[in-house]
Amino acid sequence: MNIRFGTSGWRAVIADEFTFAGVRCVTSAICSHFGTASQLGNLMVVGYDTRFLGEKFAEECANIISENAFSVLLCDEPVPTPTISHVIRAKGAICGINFTASHNPPQYNGMKLSTSDGAPALPEVTRSVEELIRKTGLTAPPTKPSKAAGLQVFSARPGYLEDLRTKINFDAISRAGGRYAYDPLWGTGRGYLDEILRTQGLEVETIHNWRDVLFGGRSPEPEASHLDELREVVVAKQCVLGLATDGDADRFGIIDSNGSFITPNQLIALLFDYLVESRGWSGGAARSVATSHLVDRVALVRGLPVYETPVGFKYIGELINENKIVIGGEESAGLSIKGHYPEKDGILACLLAAEAVASRGASLTEQLKELYGRVGKLESGRIGIRLTPQLMESLGDKLKEDPKEIGGRRVERTNRMDGVKFIFADGSWLLMRPSGTEPVVRIYAESESAKDLEVLLEQGHKFLLG
């Protein structure tokens, strides 16, 4: 079996590649890897999301870990990935494994591996695990149904929510009052984001707050096209905000009070500006190579640095661990802040949006208008192209090309940090890179007008397939 870790763990289709045999194989390899670094401790954490058979996969994994002489905390309910990060740090675990395919379609499941700092495992760790898988193969036998020694079932929710209370200005949110709407998209955020707001005396309208392993028949991704029902609730109930999280609650989606979708690119820049202003924090911002340069413009007027990283939150997590940044974010709706875990946290992002609205006394749309007045407006977007056999064959050579111009635009600089990014003389840019989680090639672009953005994306499409 060719098991490979992508941008955020190992993901595969259930009953095709993602099987109990595969789970045993990967778990055994993880145990072997950390067995060579036993000075870090002896405890591992295992969780799961709301996907089909998630709790059974997690139980099998926990038993394998216990049989390998490690202690293991097995979460007693579906948990967000950032909650696993909190448990790792709070309990001093050497690693955590969460069974989730995040925002991928319902037929997928996956294993996210986090290291002792609560961050996604870096490539050197996942390469070691992959090599151990290749050496051993599918040799681990099924475990016995009974719980093994050293395995403890554990409630992760209370500690995580208590930690959040130290990082959000709930007093400001409570004073501002109002009603919120929340859509966990049938995922693990239910009982987390809505409940912590309710404990502050706020009214929350929650939809899709039951387990559906098919996620309503689509990917549990909080993008604009998936949030129509949330938008209807926001407008009908006159909510302050509509908040959404993905399957494992590490990504966010925001609907403003007027029903408009606030893109991740917009929110990251807006929260960077807000946090520097409201908390007086020093440090810069980190963004992936695919994320809007609106962050750069905020940093410029604030006199702060920007750190560009490859796609994958593990790289931003390193900068959080080094205390170099106020905020780090990705256009795919991942975000974390100074003093938090080096892992994206959709629940935190939603609460920060609520805090910014409450503290500034202005909607996110109003705040964006004011920000654009200071730094200028940018329009960004992306499209995906399915990887056909023909495209797979030509892709490598295509991404190595070094054109002087694309669609009549002069290429001023080429960035090959992750995929290939062409920065044009007018400041617009175009990025092409294979997805680390799905069989697609993504094309990202940014310009100062929505019309030109459409043109750029089309030019990127023609370049890739031409």
339 pLDDT higher than 80: yes
- State what percent of residues in the chain have pLDDT above 90: 86
Q: Which two tokens stand for residue 348?
A: 């935190």
DSSP state of 39: G
- Quick one: average pLDDT of 243-249? 98
Q: Specify the pLDDT at position 465.
A: 86
310 pLDDT higher than 70: yes
Confidence of residue 393 (pLDDT cuts 50, 70, 90): confident
Collect all residues with Cβ–Cβ distance below 8 Å to 369 and sequence separation of at least 6: none
Confidence of residue 318 (pLDDT cuts 50, 70, 90): very high
- Quick one: average pLDDT of 427-436? 91
Q: Specify the pLDDT at position 338.
A: 97
Q: Which two tokens stand for residue 427?
A: 């400041």
- Quick one: average pLDDT of 272-298? 96
> pLDDT, tens digit, for every residue of 26-81?
999 999 999 865 556 799 999 999 999 999 999 999 999 999 999 999 999 999 99
Q: Does domain 379-465 have CATH number 3.30.310.50?
A: yes
CA of residue 286 relative to chain centroid, distance: 14
Q: Do 165-372 and 379-465 share a fold?
A: no
- Quick one: average pLDDT of 92-98? 97
Collect all residues with Cβ–Cβ distance below 8 Å to 168 and sequence separation of at least 6: 348, 351, 352, 355
217 pLDDT higher than 80: yes
Backbone phi and psi for residue 208, each to the nearest 5 degrees, phi listed first: 55, 45
DSSP state of 224: G
**Residue keyed to tokens 């905390």:** 73
Backbone phi and psi for residue 175, each to the nearest 5 degrees, phi listed first: -60, -40
- Quick one: average pLDDT of 309-332? 95
Confidence of residue 466 (pLDDT cuts 50, 70, 90): confident
> pLDDT, tens digit, for every residue of 162-176?
999 999 999 999 999
Fold of domain 165-372: Alpha-D-Glucose-1,6-Bisphosphate; Chain A, domain 3 (3.40.120)
Q: Whole-angstrom Cα distance, residue 452 to residue 466?
A: 20
- Sequence ranges of the domains in the chain: 10-156, 165-372, 379-465
HSE toward the beta carbon, residue 218, CA cutoff 13 A:
9
Fold of domain 10-156: Alpha-D-Glucose-1,6-Bisphosphate; Chain A, domain 3 (3.40.120)
DSSP state of 419: S
Q: Specify the pLDDT at position 214.
A: 97
369 pLDDT higher than 60: yes
What is 45-83 written as a DSSP string? EEEE-SSTTHHHHHHHHHHHHHHTT-EEEEESS---HHH
Sheet-wide strand order for 252-256 = 203-206, 179-183, 241-245, 252-256, 261-262
Q: Specify the pLDDT at position 392.
A: 80
Q: Where are the alpha helices (DSSP H) in 280-384?
A: 294-302, 313-321, 346-360, 364-375
- State what percent of residues in the chain have pLDDT above 70: 96
Higher pLDDT, residue 334 or 393:
334
- Quick one: average pLDDT of 385-405? 87
Q: Which 3 state secondary structure label does DSSP give 33? A: helix
Collect all residues with Cβ–Cβ distance below 8 Å to 388 and sequence separation of at least 6: none
Q: Name the residue among 250, 13, 222, 247 with its Cα closest to residue 119.
A: 250
pTM: 0.94
Collect all residues with Cβ–Cβ distance below 8 Å to 73 and sequence separation of at least 6: 43, 44, 45, 46, 87, 91, 93, 152, 153, 154, 156
CB–CB of 424/459 below 8 Å? Answer: no
Q: Which of 108-122, 292-306, 328-342, 435-449 has the lowest mean pLDDT?
A: 435-449
282 pLDDT higher than 70: yes
